[in-house]
Structure 1
Amino acid sequence: MQVSETLSCKDTKKGKRSFIKNRESIKSGFVEGARYRFINHGEHIELVLDSNGDRVVSKGNIVDLQNKTMSTVFADVDRVNVDYQKERIVLKAHYSEQQVIKREQSIKAGGSVKIGEVFAGTGNLSLQIKRGLKKSGVRSKHVFAIERCKDKSYILSANDELWDDKDARLFTDDIMLMDVSQLPAVDILVVSYPCVGFSMMQTDKAKRDLRHPEAGVLFVKLLEIISKTNPSTIIIENSPRMRDSDTLYIMDTVLSTTGYRNTEGTLKGHDFGDFEPRERLIKIYTSKGLTPFNVSNIKPQLSSVRKVEEILEPHTVKETDWKPYSYLRNHAKNSAHGHGFFAATPADTKLKTFGANYAKAQPDSSFLQHPENKDLFRMFTPSEHANIRRFDTGMHRAILESSEGKGPFYQRGSKMRAHKMMGDSIAPLPWFAAGLAIGNWIKENHIFKSNRRYTFSQTA
């Protein structure tokens, strides 16, 4: 039987130090007075028994390793893995330390930042982050994405801006069942974790957080994916209610143990000049050896704000789309209900949140007022909704195929399906700003120093 163990590798004035004295080192022949050679292999150190060796095992069968070579080989290492073999001992950086070194070397190497995405949806979250990175001057390439829903995966596949790497892979699969060994290493992992267990709409206590029948244990496989892809940066988007969840507590604990620190905050659409007020949690984990990132660095500098008239497409509207919605308007007049009827005009810059159920006319949704008849209103079309989300050309085309029944998975058109997929998405500008801030952080602290700091612009 071959035995290995983990030992500390401490910083001292004379260099890194590891102290070996146990039954296994004695069994390997490293006893008091035995001579051995200390061999530097670059990434590991080997101790070999040799009667002509220049080192000697100290009194008490102690192998005391403390020198500049240890500091060179294990410069950023706090723990080493020690393998005891016949007449030799091999010291390597501990696996977890190797993972830290690999991911930090990758982000510092320059070139295109590799991005992977889990629970990708239509891909709009990664698209906005990618646009922000580009604005900062950091090149990136999407190397894989995972999305279980075929409808969303089709929109994701049409995301022309995102898929600029011919070797990238899109997995339409359930992460709980898929083989994650086929996933490549990435620098940034984007995670739009399902919010069904944390949403305010989830009123059943038996289905919250870890107890949700579908989403409750997804973090288990997510942590396996993180271990396999070894990103230096992990970006999580979710409902603010996830902040105090057991799910996030477990993830924080595991990722802290494996060498990550984290920062979190809340992004609100209106704060960044977006149409929607949509409020979302942003949680960012970064590898422990990198300069810490702080979400407070995600700041908009508003140069312009879009008006509703800029996203309207009258040619997609029929006369029958204009309706009085008398019930909803009367319902809103009763303040006891706590609901309102919001009628936007082309000059407005703010709208209500477009939720997954937007296709169904309901209180607190955004309606557009008729330009001439003030008693008529209509809902925004799927194409206009796509404009609000800042979908790229390919995604926009695919979402229209979904609403009109022209895509490969659609037997008939469904505005409800199109609105639901977009309603599950994000307010784009906060996440563009997040990508910009992360790009600046990467450039200024890791890839190379830059005197120029790129700033937020609404011409994303």
Structure 2
Amino acid sequence: MATSIINTKLGENRNVARVWLEGQKLSRGGVNVGARYALHMQEGFQRFELRPVPENYVGETFTVSRREKNGIVFPLFEIRSETFRKLFEVSAKLRVIIRDARIIITRSQIDIKIAERVKRFMEKLKNGQKLATVSLFHGGGVLDKSIHSGLQKAGVGSFIQVGVELEDAYLESSLRNNKELWSEESIAICGDIKEINLQGGNIPQADILVAGLPCTGASVAGRSKNKISCAEEHSAAGSMFVDMLDWVKASNPAMVILENVKQYASTASMMVIRSVLTSLGYRIKEAVLQGTDFGSLESRERLVVLATTPGIADEFEFDNVVPLRKKPETLKAIMEDIPLDSDRWKDLTYLAEKEERDKAAGKGFTRQLLTGDEASCGTIGKSYAKYRSTEPMLIHPLQSALSRLFTPQEHAAAKTIPYGMVEGNSETVMHEILGQSVIFAKFEAFAFAVGMMLQYTLNFGELTSYCGQVCGDLGKNCGLGNICQLGVDAQTEMPDPASWIAAHAEDYLLAA
């Protein structure tokens, strides 16, 4: 007997839940006009089964009717029963399997995965368990450690379940310097993300997926250097967003955190990412955040994307992300005392000549020669150790012809990255790790805001009305509850998330 699979939704007719099926798809599966069916709920399997019954069957039944359209007769099966509401809500996506005249109704595969990840995430949150993270394009672990730190400050633990990084030196550095990120359960993968087999269901299920997608083809400098017109044209990095989405499907995280250069927001890649994540049941919020707004001396704008599953941190807003540290007034606050006769000072006349050639060619690139009195500096990139002409350098205080690079310690401090994260590497590797990293304080503040919203979800997520369920008799207690002074929305009868977080943030920070 043939099999038919139908994707549909639970509807409603005259306030009664209804499943509507029609067409040759029923006939192929053995469901014929005039047949009577009984509905059975199989709660353990979270499904319903409709089985044909004999003529003498006593009990509620549903009969397959007929419909004719354009001279073609086919079965029409309307199953109206409030029993459906015991497992499904109205508008829930359903998967109907018809074979050998039997009909099985379950949630759609996407809805099953949504329910599974919410259940897993919330159980861990309630039990104080660490959230498992998949880290893609891990680098030296700066993005992951900043998120780990921010969540921890909000009382939410995390660890890397799977970490993937192509460059051996970067992964080695993270394993050595970020021991709090890794556990006995962690899987560290050194290799090309495209060569990892995601088939067979062996990928651990995650709570959070973090990916600093390679920006080589999306940044202004990257497009210019590689002579490409769009991010997707880059031979190595252009399709890596597809691999990231494959990992989302395989690991089924409750939250996805992405970062990239701000130009990535308008790429075709990001449009596909938004579309696919939405189809998988995620809600997406995004913003461009500036590093100097969060205590960094390096001016570095980045696109930050948070995709959450409904029921988890629903009320998160980027407006609630606030700095956790104060920015130093000038670069001198982080500058080391380098001897004036140190060999770090270089005569870089060739860079000055290149600058003149670039100006003459209309390229618009100029050198960033700094004294230390500046309030910030421009972006320091991956290849900083190669003395790239457009990146920040410090001028010798006595000999203007000489200049030097920021030391690795200064570079780390400019990005608010703990220097210990890159210790033990050559200066070149340290600059590479730091140069393609995020502003630590920015993502720490972002993760803290996410963590505080998770605490809000933990406290109020199961309530539909704080006033009615907690305070009780509105006539006697309205305005006298423990959180009424923080503001309770008159329509939702729930505490204002921003006010609750602002009132409790300091307590969490002090406890951390």
What TM bracket, shorter-length normalisation?
0.7 to 0.9
State the 1:211 CA deviation: 1.4
Q: Which amino acid aligns with 1:341?
A: L
Alignment CA distance shift 1:98-1:156 (3 Å) = same
Q: Which amino acid aligns with 1:85?
A: R
State the 1:349 CA deviation: 5.5
Q: Secondary structure at the match of 2:272?
A: helix
Which of residues 290, 297, 309 in structure 2 aligns to 1:275? 297
Q: Secondary structure at the match of 2:241?
A: helix
Is the contact made by 2:137 and 2:165 (CA closer than 8 Å) also made in structure 1?
yes
State the 1:402 CA deviation: 2.5
Which of residues 246, 249, 252 in structure 1 aligns to 2:268? 246
Matches within 5 A, 1:242-391: 242-290=264-312, 291-300=314-323, 302-303=325-326, 305=328, 308=331, 311-312=334-335, 314=337, 319-323=342-346, 338-344=366-372, 350-363=376-389, 365-368=391-394, 373=398, 377-391=403-417
Q: Which amino acid aligns with 1:40?
A: Q
Equivalent-residue separation in structure 1 for 2:144 and 2:332 (angstroms): 27
Alignment CA distance shift 1:374-1:77 (3 Å) = farther
Equivalent-residue separation in structure 2 for 1:328 and 1:83 (angstroms): 69
Equivalent-residue separation in structure 1 for 2:298 and 2:509 (angstroms): 18
Q: Which amino acid aligns with 1:56?
A: T
Q: 1:47: which partner in 2?
A: 50
Equivalent-residue separation in structure 2 for 1:53 and 1:315 (angstroms): 93
Deviates more, 1:103-112 or 1:297-306: 297-306
Deviates more, 1:161-170 or 1:27-36: 27-36
Which of residues 116, 124, 131 in structure 1 aligns to 2:142? 124
TM-score by length of 2: 0.76
Alignment CA distance shift 1:199-1:53 (3 Å) = farther
Is the contact made by 2:422 and 2:433 (CA closer than 8 Å) also made in structure 1?
no
Q: 2:489: which partner in 1?
A: none
Equivalent-residue separation in structure 2 for 1:324 and 1:436 (angstroms): 44
Instruction: Give the count of matched residue pairs.
Output: 443
**Residue by residue, what CA displacement relative to the aligned partner does 1:150-184 show, whole Å, maximum 9, x if unpaired?**
12222222242542421111111111111124431
Is the contact made by 2:330 and 2:372 (CA closer than 8 Å) also made in structure 1?
no
For the pair 1:83 / 2:83, whether they are aligned, the reply is no
For the pair 1:74 / 2:74, whether they are aligned, the reply is no
Alignment CA distance shift 1:146-1:12 (3 Å) = farther
Q: Secondary structure at the match of 1:6?
A: strand
Deviates more, 1:352-361 or 1:434-443: 352-361
**Residue by residue, what CA displacement relative to the aligned partner does 1:164-206 show, whole Å, maximum 9, x if unpaired?**
4211111111111111244311121111111111111112554
Q: 1:435: which partner in 2?
A: 447
Q: 1:454: which partner in 2?
A: 505
State the 1:238 CA deviation: 0.6
Matches within 5 A, 1:399-410: 401-403=424-426
Percent identity of equivalent pairs: 23
Q: Secondary structure at the match of 1:38?
A: strand
State the 1:364 CA deviation: 5.0
State the 1:241 CA deviation: 1.0
Q: 1:222: which partner in 2?
A: 244
Q: Secondary structure at the match of 1:436?
A: helix
Equivalent-residue separation in structure 1 for 2:354 and 2:231 (angstroms): 34
State the 1:76 CA deviation: 7.5
Q: Which amino acid aligns with 1:454?
A: A
Deviates more, 1:119-128 or 1:105-114: 105-114
State the 1:425 CA deviation: 0.9
Alignment CA distance shift 1:50-1:394 (3 Å) = farther
**Residue by residue, what CA displacement relative to the aligned partner does 1:397-434 show, whole Å, maximum 9, x if unpaired?**
2xxx321xxxxxxxxxxx33331221111111111111
Alignment CA distance shift 1:73-1:159 (3 Å) = farther
**Residue by residue, what CA displacement relative to the aligned partner does 1:12-34 show, whole Å, maximum 9, x if unpaired?**
66453212334454553564262
State the 1:73 CA deviation: 0.7
Equivalent-residue separation in structure 2 for 1:294 and 1:63 (angstroms): 45
State the 1:115 CA deviation: 1.3
Alignment CA distance shift 1:332-1:29 (3 Å) = closer
For the pair 1:106 / 2:128, whether they are aligned, the reply is no
Q: Secondary structure at the match of 1:116?
A: strand
Q: 1:412: which partner in 2?
A: none
Greater length-normalized contact order (CA 8 Å, ≥ 6 residues apart): 1
Equivalent-residue separation in structure 2 for 1:332 and 1:215 (angstroms): 29
Equivalent-residue separation in structure 1 for 2:351 and 2:99 (angstroms): 78
Q: Secondary structure at the match of 2:97?
A: strand
TM-score by length of 1: 0.84
Which of residues 149, 152, 155 in structure 1 aligns to 2:170? 152
Query: C-alpha root-mean-square deviation of aligned residues, in Å?
Result: 3.4
For the pair 1:187 / 2:207, whether they are aligned, the reply is yes
Gaps of 5+ in 1: 404-414
Q: Secondary structure at the match of 1:16?
A: strand
For the pair 1:57 / 2:62, whether they are aligned, the reply is yes
Gaps of 5+ in 2: 67-74, 462-496
Equivalent-residue separation in structure 2 for 1:92 and 1:149 (angstroms): 44
Q: Which amino acid aligns with 1:423?
A: G
Q: Which amino acid aligns with 1:286?
A: T
Q: 2:107: which partner in 1?
A: 93
Equivalent-residue separation in structure 1 for 2:193 and 2:339 (angstroms): 37
Is the contact made by 2:20 and 2:78 (CA closer than 8 Å) also made in structure 1?
yes
Q: Secondary structure at the match of 2:322?
A: coil
Equivalent-residue separation in structure 1 for 2:459 and 2:253 (angstroms): 15
Q: Secondary structure at the match of 1:102?
A: helix
Q: Which amino acid aligns with 2:178?
A: D
Alignment CA distance shift 1:55-1:32 (3 Å) = farther
Q: Secondary structure at the match of 2:244?
A: helix
Is the contact made by 1:344 and 1:351 (CA closer than 8 Å) also made in structure 2?
no
For the pair 1:418 / 2:430, whether they are aligned, the reply is yes
Alignment CA distance shift 1:11-1:447 (3 Å) = farther
Is the contact made by 2:292 and 2:327 (CA closer than 8 Å) also made in structure 1?
no
Deviates more, 1:284-293 or 1:237-246: 284-293
Q: Which amino acid aligns with 2:40?
A: F
Q: Secondary structure at the match of 1:359?
A: helix
Deviates more, 1:381-390 or 1:102-111: 381-390
